[in-house]
Each structure stands twice: as C-alpha cells, then as structure tokens.
Amino acid sequence: MTSNTSTDIEPEEDPSEVAEEVFEEIDNRRSLSGAAVVAVAAVGITFSAFQLWLGARGFVFDFGIPGYGTIDLGSLSSLQIRAIHVNFALVLAFLLFPGSNGSGLLTGLVDRAARAVSDRAGDSPVSTVVSGVRDALWWVFVDEESSRITPSDLVLILFSTFPTLYYVTRYSEITDVIRVRGLGGAGGLSEVYPWLAPLEVGPLAEYTLAYLMGVLAILLVLEATRRALGLLLTLLVSLFLLYAKYGYLLPRDLPVARTFATSQLRWNQIVQNLWYTVEGILGVPVGVSVRFIYIFILFGAFLEMSGAGKWFIDLAYSITGTRKGGPAKASVVASGFMGMLSGSSVANTVTTGALTIPLMKRSGYSPEFSGAVESSVSSGGQILPPVMGAAAFLIVEYTGTPFREVVIAATLPAIAFFFGMWVMVHFEAAKHDIGGLARSELLDLGPHMRRGWFYLVPLGLLLYYLVIARLSVGRAGWLTIAATIGLIALVAAYNRRLGPYLVGTFAAVYALFAGSLFALGTTPVGLLYGAETADFGLVAAFGEAASSLPTIATVVGVAFLLADPSGDAPLLELDDSVENSIDWVDERLGTGIGGTRVGRFGSFVVKAMDSGARTATLVVVAVAAAGIIPGVIGITGLGGSLRALILEVSGGSLVLLLILAGIAAVIVGMGMPTTVMYIIIVVLLGPVLPDFGIAILAVHLFVLYLGLMADVTPPVMVAAYAAAGIAKSDPFETGKQAFLLSLNKILVPFAFVFSPGILLLRTRDGEGSILTGTDVADLGFFVPEVAVPIVATFAGVYGLGVAIIGYYHTDVRRGSRAALVAAAVLLSIPGMVLLPASAALGLVGVDASLYTVSNDVIARGAGAVMLAVGLIRNRRRAGERGTSTGTASGVTATDAGDAAVES
C-alpha cells in the first residue's frame, strides 16, 4: 500500500530556510520589518499580558500598593471580556495578513481596466489620471509583496475597536434595553454620543448604534476570517448568515427543502443573536478560548521559546536515532511532543520536519515516505495528552467533562496511534534495510539529560495541577506558565561560580516564606499587602509555601541576573527565534542585549508572549467565525430538523451513522482549522450519536480524531503539502502515503466508540465515567470490556501497520494484506461486523442480537487467530526464501519483532 517512489536524493538546501518558505507559502502572513514589527509585537504582548491577568486574577482589575491600599480599576462581565479578546485577534489579523496582494478578481479587473485605458489613450491626461487612481487604490488596499501595512488595514483596526468600546461603555444598555426590547429599542448615534449628531445621516440616522456596531462586528470577523483562514470558511459562514435571513423562502412542499425551511427573521434579530448573546460570535467557542485555549497556547509558546522544543527533538534522536529506521522513529516521538505544544498540524510539520525529513531521507527513506511520516505524526500531536490541541478544551466545555478526565480518556488511544506509527516506520526500515544514525552523529543521552532535565518540570507540574491537585484548566495553565518563567530565570542565572549561592538563596527564601506562614500566618508578600492570616502547622506551612515557588524562583533568578548581567549561562539554550529577535534588536538599536543574561531572559519572556499571541490569533478568529454557525442553527431551529434528517438517512444504523459522521468530519476538516471542523460536526451530529447509548466523551473524541484525518487526506492535505515542500517530493504521493499511515486515526476512534473501556470509561445509561477502583475490581466487567479491548486494539493496530507497509520478514502478498486488515477490524472493532450481521439476519426474519459482550470477545479471539496465522505464515515464507538469515535483504530474524519490543 505504500512504496518508496523516489530513490535519488538531491543535494539538500538549508532545511530551515526551505521550511520557512513552505510555511510562508501556506500561511500567507506578512514579512514585516521596522516599525511594523514593533507594532505587531506590542499588540501581541499586550494581548498575552491581558490573558495572563485573566488567568491570575480573573475579570476584576485592581492591584494593591504597599502602604497605600488597593487601586480598583473596575471589573468586566464575561461578554465584555470576550469582545475584547476577539478585538485583539482582529487587530492582529489585520496587521499580520494582507487584505489583497493584487491577484484577486476585483483587483485584477481594476488593473486590467487601467492598463487598457493607458494602452488606448497613450501618454495623455486621461491615462495619467487613470494610472494615478489605480496607484492610489493599490497604495490604500493592496500589499503585493506581503511586506507592508496598508492604510485600509489601519482603518479596519480603528473600526474594530468601535463594537468593543460600545460593549465596554454601554453594557447597561445591552443588558437592560436590548435584551428586553431588542436592537430597535437602543439609542441612536446622537442619543449615545450627542457630539456626533452632525454625522447622523443615511444609515447612521436610520438604524440604532447597537445595530450598526453588531453589523460592523460581524463584517469585521468575516474579513479577518477571509484573510487569516481563507475564502472557504468565509463563504461557509456567509452561507449560514444568508440562510438565517432567507431560509424561509425555501419551498415547503418539497421533502428535503421542507426540512431546511425556517420562519422569517429580521436582520435585527439575527444581529442581536450573533453579537449580543452567548449564542453567536461571543459564544461557547470564544468563551473557551478566553478561559482555556489561549493560556495553553501561551504555555506552549513559553516552553518552546525556552528551548524545550530543540531539547526534546535531540532527546528523541538520542534515544531512537541509532535503531533501525531511527530518524523516522525519532520523528514519531519528537513530532508528537511538538504537535502537542503547537496545536497545529502544519506548524508542527514545518517546525520539526525541517530537521527530521532531511535525516529520514539521508538514512534511506524515500522523500514521499519521509514527508508522509512527518505530516501524519504531526497531525497526531493534537490528540496527545497532557496538552492536546485547542479542540480538547472545546470538548471540556461542550461535554461538561473535567479536563483531567479528558486527558485520562485520551491517553491510551493516543498511545495506540503513535504505537502504530512506530510499527510502520520500523517495518518500512526493515523492508528497505534502513539502519539508524551513527552514535557519533547524536548527542550522548546522559550529558543531554543533565543539560536539560529541567524542561520536564513544567509538564510534570501541569499533570500535577490537572490530575492530582484538580485545579481548573485556566488556573493550572497560569501556574504552569509562572513556574516556567521562574524556572528559566533560575536557569539563566545559574553557572558554576554562582550556582551554590543561587541554590542557597532559593532555599533560604523558601524557608523564609514557610517560616513566615508558620509564625505569622502569611507570607512576607502577604504582610506587605495586609493579607488575612491563618494558622499553619510546620508541615502545612512548607506545603503552602510551595505554591509561592514560581514567585520565589522568578525573584531570586532576576535578582542574580541583575547583580551579574553579563555572566555566563551554560544551561540557557533558547529557541533560535528568540536568538534571532535579540540579534535584530541589537543590530537596529546598537545595543548588546544578546551578550547579557538578563537581556536574553527578558527577550525570552517577550518573544514567548508575542509568539503565543500570533499563534492564538488564528484560533481566536476561527472560533469567532465558527460561533456564527451554531448561532444560526439555534435561532433558526435547524438543529432539530437536522437531527431528524440524519437519523432518517442512517436508517437507525449506528455503523452507517458513524461512517457518515467520519466522512463528514474529514470533508469539513479539509482546509479548515481543527477547531472549526470540531464545532461544525459536533453542532450537527453531536446530539444524535448519544441517542445510540454512546458515551458523550467518546462521541467528541471520535469527531476530533476523524477531523484530523483531513490534514493528510488528498486533495487538500495541508500538512502533507507542507511536508512535501520540505521533502522535495510529489505532493499527491506524499499525501496518499500520509493518509495510509494515518489510518489508525480511523481504526482507533471506531474502536473506542464501540468499546469505551479503551478510554478507561464505564458507560451506564449512556453516561460515561472514568474507571474507579471498584470498576477495576469487578473482573466480570473489567476483563471483557476494558482489558481485552485494549490489548486487542493494540494488536489490531500492529496488524494494520503490517498490512499498510506490506512487510513482515518478507513482502506480504495482497491476499495476506486483506486478511490482516480483516483481522485488525475484528480485533479492534468487532461491532462493525456483528451489528451489520444482526441487521442482515433481521432482513431474513431471524431475530438475533449478535452484538453481545461474549460475542465481542469471541470475535476478537478470531481476529487474534487470523493475525497470528498471517504473521506466522509470512515468517515461514521468509524462512523458505532465506530472508530470515539476511541473505536476500540483510534483515535478521529478530528484526521483525523489534517494532513491538522497542515500543
């Protein structure tokens, strides 16, 4: 099913430059310089600072000054915060993405018209005027080189602040008037701002200010979506808007049209629902972005900018690089980690692929297979706990499931997917006798761990806060970011000369905090601010003081940095983008920030905040636009009609419904951000699947898994396209192989939908809950419904991997491949066979329910036998041909078993 189609490996260009070019081609961001870079950074840093405040203090804006008291700046409601959140994203979208590069339909018509006039009129005043008008329009609207901010961008940025200002300053009118009397009851321009009465002409006089601000907000979100995410999503959202207004015109005498016909709505009602309630743009998706998504994107940015990304990639190569097919196995490990941080299949593909793809090609993998491996595992990063992607936080909100339970449930399926990738790259290596890298080309594991073990601390803390301490998602994210900043401050301050003093001071301040809590009932900081006191025993005091460790680490680290700003920092290895930013500032300002530890630490913090905001912009714009879709479905009542239509089309068959849902997720996910795909599919199909007794968490994870397939599914396959650009391979062939390598993203979700025990869930009356000790002790449940499905699914993934690669000791024949696929299905999802079989018997008058726990176990056993027979038969064929001794391909008899052992 896969093949190495390219054998000649051309001389490589600089991989990082190639990756950057590919990302720019796909991402369409501007390459800004000078003051524009500073402006974007200023907005991004402010956005991140705003979100950090929300994570630390909530929606109340006040701060205390020792000896003076508290300065209260006020508080904002949830909707006001969401409006500001979206406003920041709109500003960054208009700064980062050009509105037009001159190649569009409208600009093309203008340009051709101007040239036609100039050709006919020659060197005349008419030609001069027309050319001048064309040049003026280009200056105002067009950014041909994607390198400058146009006047129209600045106008849109100014306009984007108006709806938010209205929200912040006129919130009482929204709550007391608009929600009671509608937009028509709000004040006009002159009523709200009497000094603007002269402007009240035309639409400004006809409509209320609230209505105009709502329309403006919707149009700005659509424009930001067009720029940042493309025309496809913009058209889809616009179609829903038009449906809300004109859906009542659908004929009610036609069966399908009757299902989608709505009652007549006024624009007032639509705008109010989409901008002034929690049902539209400022609905659940944006609320999740405010509370969860942004803070975790920021955490990923801090961890990546600290150098953790490079360290983990090197760690993966140190562990796996010398093994058979080591570079590809390292790609599986490193890309999974980086994808978890970035939350973007394309960004992960480009970031890690710049290193992994050339090494895979050099070791002997074909360019197509190298790109396929990288894009497949990169798209899988969004399903890997503990961070996962932005859609995981939407799952938390839509299902009401605590994030710790989402993490626990998603762990085994994610491991199964990456296990399958490991198996496939191993057998591809065995098939073509691809070895690993020489140990001399890799970093030694011991010294590498000593240089960067501290990068594991933030991830460990995150798991502790979420799973053990059971803090809220936002609070856990904020505390982990604070801990990461404090940790890097200590790392930046550490060297051989100051190390003992740094550690001693840190321990002393910690002891001081604990002693203050024990003796005075509060910390030294609490004393300054007059905080309330409490009684703490000695042990409790040290435990409570531990919550201040991030603050202590930051203060102590920065103090040492300021005391010795130019000392060496042997452990500080920041991301290349941080170093490049430092060099850029030094070059333009003539400073020496790059040569100081304190400057490098400050640059790390600033760059992480800027990078987090840039990454989050796409997500925030996506969820704001996607919020329109459930808003329209809610106001039109389309949800109930769709639910009835879906059930009718599926004929009440769970198998058919799951297949339809999977196909829909893949199609909708093509060219769409994962979050948008998830929102659309969950809104349309989410209410239907639980009717079949499926745990709601399993339903939502199923949608997420299948949607991620779109990133590697031809013809769109954005992640595979990015990987092909770096690998210099055929894009379609790369996408085809990436799709095949990703088939576990189909097998695994179908498996856990039928067997929620794989998610460590026990379903009772359609409600799933994480397994408890009592559930594990109930062997009559645990063994057949948890242990057996888990083991069988991993075995199925193994068999599917062999079938996809077509090698086990020797080439696997076509018939054997088909048998291995059948074995994988029986092992992983026997319900896909038993349910249709029951339905078929029903058609001939036999009323038999084949899908039972006992039959499930029997079917899995049959699949296990088929898998064992297939593998044994192929091994015997290899022995008969002499390949097991290495005479044909150099593959030893133990190589085929290494995949499972190494995993």
Helices (H), 276-322: 284-288, 294-305, 308-320
Segments in 74-170 forming alpha helices (H): 78-96, 105-121, 125-141, 151-169
Cβ contacts of residue 198 below 8 Å, gap of 6+? none
Report pLDDT digits (tens) over 135-185.
Answer: 888 899 988 888 899 999 999 999 999 999 999 999 999 999 998 888 988
Q: How confident is the model at residue 270 (pLDDT cuts 50, 70, 90)?
A: very high
Measured over the CA atoms of residue 813, residue 815, residue 819 and residue 824, the dihedral's sign is positive
Largest CA distance in the chain: 94
Confidence (pLDDT) at 2? 45
In the predicted structure, residue 20 carries a pLDDT above the cut 80:
no
Global pTM reads 0.88
Q: Is the pLDDT of residue 897 over 60?
A: no
Residue 887 confidence (pLDDT) above 70: no
- For 583-590, the CB contacts below 8 A with 24+ separation are 584/37
Task: Give 530's DSSP letter.
Answer: T
* Range 167-176 contact pairs with CB under 8 angstroms and sequence separation of 24 or more: 167/79, 167/80, 167/83, 167/84, 168/76, 168/80, 168/83, 168/84, 170/210, 171/77, 171/79, 171/80, 173/210, 174/79, 174/210, 174/276
The pLDDT assigned to 840 comes to 82
DSSP states of 222-237: HHHHHHHH-HHHHHHH
- List the structure tokens of 655: 């198998």
Tokens representing 217?
Answer: 């907000």
CA–CA distance, 684 with 664 (Å, rounded to integer) = 10
Q: What is the DSSP letter of 178?
A: I
In 594-711, which residue ranges form alpha helices assigned H by DSSP?
A: 597-626, 628-636, 638-650, 654-669, 674-685, 696-708
CA distances from 634 to 118, 244, 273, 631, 641 (A): 53, 10, 9, 5, 11
Q: Quick check: bond before 402 cis, omega within 30?
A: no
pLDDT at 269: 93
The per-residue pLDDT of the chain, averaged, comes to 85
Tell me which of 453-467, 533-547, 888-902 is least confident. Answer: 888-902
Is 50 exceeded by the pLDDT of residue 61? Answer: yes
286 in Cβ contact with 631 (< 8 Å): no
Region 423-434: mean pLDDT is 91
Percent of the chain with pLDDT over 70: 93
pLDDT in tens, 598-642: 889 999 999 999 999 999 999 999 999 999 998 998 898 887 777
Which tokens sit at 211? 């209505």
Tell whether the model's pLDDT for residue 786 goes beyond 60: yes
pLDDT of residue 1 exceeding 60, the answer is no
One-letter amino acid at 226 equals R
Q: Is the peptide bond before 524 cis (omega within 30 degrees of 0)?
A: no
SS3 of residue 331 by DSSP: helix
